[in-house]
A and B are shown apart, each in its own frame.
Chain A
Amino acid sequence: MTDPERWPGRRRLRPRDFAENLVHGLAKAMAHGLAAESLSARKGLLQGLDPRVKLAGCLALIVSGVLAQSLAILAALFLIAVALAFASHITLARLFRQVWLGVLLFTGVIALPAIVVVPGTPVWHIPLLDWPVTEQGLRSAAFLIGRAETSATFALLLILSTPWPHVLKAMRSLGVPVVLVAILGMTHRYIFVLLHSAMQMFEARRSRIVAAMPGRQRRSMVAASAGVLLGKAFHLSAEVHLAMISRGYRGEVHLLDDFHIRPRDWLALGIALALPIMIFWSQR
């Protein structure tokens, strides 16, 4: 049921029907979660660092990407991301599939018109249409795509190299309230529970559909499924609440904290924090 391989995209001979599409989307989200868990258990450069250092370091690198005002600095940051992935046994094919292609398609569509819309020095004219492609337009499109790709790669590296509970515990060191950390942990858990419920609902419905459904009926089916899921969510929260109360929960959250910072963590943190500071000062 939860195995995403049961909905392979490429080998299909007929287009997916509506309910199948929904199930496929939900299955992809679950596959992402499972992949993140298995990769973070491997041995590698990022996997060996303290989660607090990784979280602070990745944030510093993302901020560096946003601060950079030169394409050369952005390219250098992108290469750092690739090198970190390489040293952490995260393949470029995975990065390409999970980040680069998606960001390129999404940001590319947004950035493409900028090459003719942004006024500036014309460098080329599009044949037939005679629209001038400007140098400023090309640069602004490159900035947008470069920043989006670099930042998304750093964010994915953090998630693929760190188990989610560790990311959450590390958030405490950045001042996130402990109650919020507990809620985030539980939310992550119940996302998969509810995804599972939603998939079961859609698959049960799909197995009972014999002909194409009209649009109106499909919309009401999705709304009804959302309604059922909402009812289930409230029921679940009441049960979880009772379970927590019966185990002594009185509104105070306590989490175990068992991280240890070693010299190499300090070194990694120092390098990561130095980057945005250097970029900021060099551009003043």
Chain B
Amino acid sequence: MHIPDGYLSPATCLVAYAVTLPFWYVAFRRVKRLLHTRMVPLLAVFSAFSFVIMMFNLPLPGGTTGHALGVAVAAIVLGPWAAMVAISIALLIQAVFFGDGGITTYAANCLNMAVVGSLVAYWTYLLIAGKSAPGSSRRVVAAALAGYLAINAAALLTAVEFGLQPMLAHDAAGAPLYAPYPLAIAVPAMMIGHASIAGFAEMAISGGLVAYLQRANPGLLAYSARGADPKPTDAWRSTRALWYGLAGLMILTPLGLLAAGTAWGEWAAADFGSAEARQEIIQASGGMAPPAAAPQGMERLASLWTAPIPDYAPSFMHSAGYGYILSALLGSGLVLLAFLLVSRFAVRKASPER
């Protein structure tokens, strides 16, 4: 799970830093506001605890053993934002001091395990635990599933990052320069190991630890027992489903690279004159041949607007795959910006000035 240096291309590493940086910033600010002077000692000791937990070798059914990440434990006890910071610090010490995980890939590791892992674990736990009693066995099941899903979500993201590398960087002879396997191999290879061994290790430590704390130290489970903190505002609550949908779409964006052929109906006026493009249109339309020339209305309208990033690939980008990813990020950012502006306007309208 800890990606070493050299597995990801420099561009991927930079994108991972750009994506993770805002999470670090927000998490750090929230933790500072909540904990004030307690922040330094609490984060230091909890990061050390996360580090030690990552070294525990857990016996699994079938005679194998697996290392747990402890991400669900951190998210349940500290909440997602403090868990993000604590696990990032533990990962930094692992990378720099113990050489476990790379330095250029540090942000990617944090994104997969600390950011996505913490959020998936926390929301899974809250969703399944619901309003059950703090000592109920439903919370043990919730913690076990939170651990299992968190580690598998992190593994899936790692696999996607690996799987994109052959498309992003190869030498003149076609040899991949970084992780060599395409998505079709990287995803199953990573997921088989994590859906079985590592997933069960995480499940056992998360469920087992919550069960133990319920008996021995229930005070430590108080954070997640009282629900999300800070309390979600009405605006956040009403738009939460949209945010989830958007996050899901952003995560699935790279899958567009897998799709073969052309998107039905997304043809340019010039495609009607090109023999190759005509063949693709016939194939995508179930054998129906398109008209010999582009419809007049389409031609007239096509000249009205030229997209700044045509076909998702900026002209200065030589690699189509790289351009696709960059465009996806830019597009997602623009959608987010528009969404924020709209939600801000909606909130103002909903709460008239007093």
Measured CB to CB, the residues of A under 8 A from B are 18, 21-22, 25-26, 29, 32-33, 36, 59, 62-63, 65-67, 69, 98-99, 103, 106-107, 111, 113-114, 117-121, 135-137, 139-141, 143-144, 146-148, 150-152, 155-156, 158-159, 164, 167, 179-180, 182-191, 193-195, 198, 215, 218-220, 222-231, 233-234, 236-238, 240-241, 244-245, 249-251, 253
The reply to whether A152 and B5 contact each other, CB–CB distance below 8 Å, is yes
The B99-135 residues at the A interface (CB cut-off 8 A) are 99, 102-104
The B210-260 residues at the A interface (CB cut-off 8 A) are 211-213, 216-217, 220
Residues A22 and B97 in contact in the complex (CB < 8 Å), given A183-B40, A230-B209: no
The reply to whether A226 and B73 contact each other, CB–CB distance below 8 Å, is yes
Residues A231 and B216 in contact in the complex (CB < 8 Å), given A118-B176, A147-B6, A223-B211: yes
Partner of B179, one of A22, A144, A215, A220: A144
- In the bound complex, how far is the Cα of B102 from the Cα of A147, in angstroms? 11
Residues A155 and B99 in contact in the complex (CB < 8 Å), given A148-B5, A227-B216, A233-B45: yes
CB of A200 to closest CB in B, whole Å: 12
- Taking A66-B5, A167-B96, A223-B211 as known contacts, 7 extra A-B pairs with beta carbons closer than 8 A to each other, sorted by chain A number, are A62-B5, A62-B103, A66-B104, A151-B104, A184-B93, A189-B48, A223-B212
Partner of A191, one of B32, B52, B102, B180: B52
Give every chain B residue within 8 A of A185 (Cβ-Cβ): 44
Does any Cβ of A come within 8 Å of B352's Cβ? no
Measured CB to CB, the residues of B under 8 A from A are 4-7, 9-10, 13, 28, 32, 36-49, 51-53, 55-61, 70, 73, 77, 89-90, 92-93, 95-99, 102-104, 169, 171, 173-181, 185, 204-205, 207-209, 211-213, 216-217, 220
Give every chain A residue within 8 A of B77 (Cβ-Cβ): 230
CB of B250 to closest CB in A, whole Å: 25
CB of B278 to closest CB in A, whole Å: 29
Of the A-B pairs whose beta carbons lie under 8 Å apart in the complex, a sample of 22, sorted by A's number, is: A22-B56, A29-B98, A62-B104, A63-B104, A69-B171, A114-B176, A117-B180, A118-B176, A140-B176, A143-B177, A148-B4, A148-B6, A152-B99, A183-B43, A183-B89, A194-B45, A219-B208, A220-B208, A226-B53, A226-B70, A233-B46, A244-B41
- In the bound complex, how far is the Cα of B40 from the Cα of A64, in angstroms? 34
Partner of B37, one of A135, A144, A195, A250: A250
CB of B42 to closest CB in A, whole Å: 5
Residues A187 and B90 in contact in the complex (CB < 8 Å), given A222-B56, A244-B41: yes
The reply to whether A234 and B175 contact each other, CB–CB distance below 8 Å, is no
Partner of B45, one of A63, A67, A159, A236: A236
- In the bound complex, how far is the Cα of B40 from the Cα of A227, in angstroms? 22
Residues A187 and B175 in contact in the complex (CB < 8 Å), given A62-B5, A67-B10, A215-B60: no
Give every chain B residue within 8 A of A215 (Cβ-Cβ): 59-61
Q: Which A-B residue pairs are the 3 nearest by beta carbons?
A: A223-B208, A147-B6, A151-B5
Give every chain B residue within 8 A of A233 (Cβ-Cβ): 45-46, 48-49
Give every chain B residue within 8 A of A194 (Cβ-Cβ): 45, 48-49, 51-52
Give every chain B residue within 8 A of A186 (Cβ-Cβ): 40-41, 44-45
